Amino acid sequence: MDTVPAATARGATPACAGFDPLALERRFAPLDALGRALWLPALVHTESGFFARFPALAAWRERLLAGDARLVSTEGWPDTAVAEAFNPILADPRVGLLTRGQPAAVEQLQRMALWHIDRISLLSPRLGRAGAVTACADAFRADWAERGEELRQFLRLFESLDGVLNASRWSELSGLLRSQAWQDMLAARERMAGMPGLAALIARLGRQRPEVEMEPAPVALASADPNRPSWVRESRPSPQPGPPIEPEGIRRSGELAGLLASEWAQLRRRRRWLAARLADQSLLTLHHRQLATDPTWVRRPGRAAALSPQARPRLRAGPMIVCIDTSASMAGAAEQVARAIVLEAARVAQAMRRRCLLYAWSGPGNIARREISGEDGLFEIARFLGESFHGGTDVSDLFARVLDDLASASWRQADLLIASDGEFGCPPALLARLAAARDDSGLRIEGVLVGDRETIGMKRVCERILRVPDWRRHGRALAPPAPIADAGLTARFFPNALQPAAPAAPGDAR
């Protein structure tokens, strides 16, 4: 029988009482702040001590996110000579502006810096320590000049690089920047800048969460005379004269009205650099609200109404489904507007971490389904921009597939946006399915009319239709003027066509 030592039996501290099983894991804890993509470069790095560089890299990442890209020797990493050689490159204000608040750009910079600093030990036997540090710093300068310019190109389209860039696919991203599809994206971004109403419509899609602003629901008063007109309070959006006064954040644009003071400070000595950023629309500016909601009293016939104390929230955000008409009638200027809609939907989805599904449809069976959110979304947009618009127009298969998606858990809270010239019809059976989806899940269908008149099919399918009045100016060549003055051509000349069909009499033959 084993016997317990006397010292332990009397309550003495065992020999392993001072052992901390988590001590080793705590030394790896700074790696969590770096992100998984930097774990391997940090672990195999040869400069300084093994555990000393982890907190130094984490501290450098925080400074990069704050806009300070300079290296500071912490815990022996990097040594003073390396910091002095690399800091003239990192002290460039363009580096700090690029990494401020951009984790994806910070990851690219740290990966590149670790690779070049790691080569110092390989070049030291041939060039000496000082020569190797200088050679690696020069190589880093050349590589970062190209990589930084590529990152700035992406920021011309997206306000943030998160969810867009993937370090493992950088060769594909670099090839995309040199393709015609990228030039088409830049052109589409410029077109969308002149259509703020369309951008606001895309941002409202989705039913995942309520808006911050609540709308009170009107409740009829039983004591009021139903035949007497009454005053009703309504909220209407109205443009504000002069410069906007409600900033919502900071974005990159080419608007001088909301330019930050830090950017104006560069005007005295760095005019060419400021002019270049103005041309790229990458200046830091305030993001203002374009419209304000004003309460208005209007006289309405019928029973008087009072505002209920219970607010009725409006749902927004969440996933969205965008359907683009790619038939032959959309070729030309309307095609360019459709491309701008797709790009803006992808930008909104990326900025708000939302999912976006794209349907490009034309004739029967010609339907392409793509998800343009996430890391693959940029390449899917490039493929869409490289395709031509041709074929007929048939919406039966399109809505059947869309309704199947809306029945799934991933897209149940999505809204539908249809961009078309309106030249399509919709059978009654399909209208009944859409009406059932509205009643069951609260589906909202928004329409964008890229044409001269709305058709009966589009008016019956969409709850609201936003018309692009000057869509012809987006064509590559000078187009003739619009043949009509407004979008109400159907209602003006065929008023009975927009009325719902009357029920058939019992004795009518069909």
List the chain domain ranges: 25-155, 317-498
Q: What's the confidence (pLDDT) of residue 128?
A: 93
130-134, 310-314, 389-393, 401-405, range with the lowest pLDDT: 310-314
Closest CA to 314 of 443, 411, 213, 200: 213
Q: What's the confidence (pLDDT) of residue 493?
A: 53
- Angle of helix 103-118 relative to helix 53-65, nearest 10 degrees? 140
Provide the β-strand partners of residue 307.
218
- Give yes or no for residue 73 having a pLDDT over 60: yes
List, in order, residues 6 or more apart from 157 with CB less than 8 Å away.
185, 186, 189, 343, 347
Residue-wise pLDDT for 266-296, tens only, equals 877 788 888 888 877 778 888 765 555 555 6
- Could you name the CATH architecture of 317-498? 3-Layer(aba) Sandwich (3.40)
User: Is the four-CA dihedral 392, 398, 400, 401 of positive or negative sign?
Assistant: positive
| Residue 320 to residue 325: CA distance in whole angstroms | 16
Query: Are the beta carbons of 287 and 248 closer than 8 angstroms?
Result: yes
Highest-scoring range by mean pLDDT, 81-90, 269-278, 337-346: 81-90
H-helix segments, 52-179: 53-65, 80-90, 93-99, 103-118, 120-155, 170-177
| Residue 96 to residue 250: CA distance in whole angstroms | 16
Average pLDDT, the chain: 76
Residue-wise pLDDT for 161-213, tens only, equals 776 666 667 777 888 888 888 888 888 888 877 777 788 888 888 765 555 44
Helix (H) or strand (E) holding 385: helix 377-385
Query: Are the beta carbons of 365 and 328 closer than 8 angstroms?
Result: no
pTM, two decimals, is: 0.61
- Give yes or no for residue 371 having a pLDDT over 60: yes
| Residue 13 to residue 19: CA distance in whole angstroms | 12
- Give yes or no for residue 106 having a pLDDT over 60: yes
Reading the block at residue 389, the tokens are 């618009």
DSSP annotation string for 407-473 = TSSSSTT-EEEEEE-S-----HHHHHHHHHHHHHH---EEEEE-SS---HHHHHH-SEEEE-TTGGG
List the helix and strand counts (H, then E) for the chain. 20, 12
Closest CA to 417 of 188, 200, 242: 200
Q: How confident is the model at residue 138 (pLDDT cuts 50, 70, 90)?
A: very high
> Mean pLDDT, to the nearest integer, of 256-262?
81
